[in-house]
Amino acid sequence: MVIRESGILFRGFTLLFATYHQTSDNKIDKDLRSALLTALINFAESAFSKDTIEYFEMRKFVISFIEDKIKPEDSPEPEPLIAYAILDQEKKIDKHISKVVIPSLKEIMKQFIAKYNGKNLSEISQFQTFKEKLDKIFGSETKTIDQKLKGTFF
């Protein structure tokens, strides 16, 4: 299992984005994709029930996500915040998602909310330093087997 990409979405926009391996040959608009992911997650939670959907499966990839709330500086109420990871489709993916990906996303969300709750979330550049936390929390899950082996032997 390889995590190819991860990020944090707020109000349909990408606050933080980390790419570890390319998911597409085409240049895709991050904000357009963020809005679509947010809409899909909101629709799924409205149509079924909140906290029952952990991931979407596609032919090649799986998108796993969690949702929490954060209070931005410009709002009197907490608003939805989504952390997601895009990973390779594999057999028994549900076990890996529940044991590795979801706990990692929860830790990312916990640290992000602790650092940015009550702050101005419209200044995107402030989140770039948080990308290091994403890399650290996901650790070797972002590496291919070849990269893991190369790190072991060289």
Query: 108-122 pLDDT, tens per residue?
Result: 999 999 999 999 999
CB 141 within 8 A of CB 18: no
- Mean residue pLDDT across the chain: 84
CB 63 within 8 A of CB 85: yes
Predicted TM-score (pTM) of this structure: 0.83
Q: Determine the pLDDT at residue 148.
A: 45
Q: Determine the pLDDT at residue 91.
A: 83
Q: Domains along the chain?
A: 3-153 (3.30.450.70)
Mean pLDDT throughout 55-77?
A: 91
Mean pLDDT throughout 135-150?
A: 62
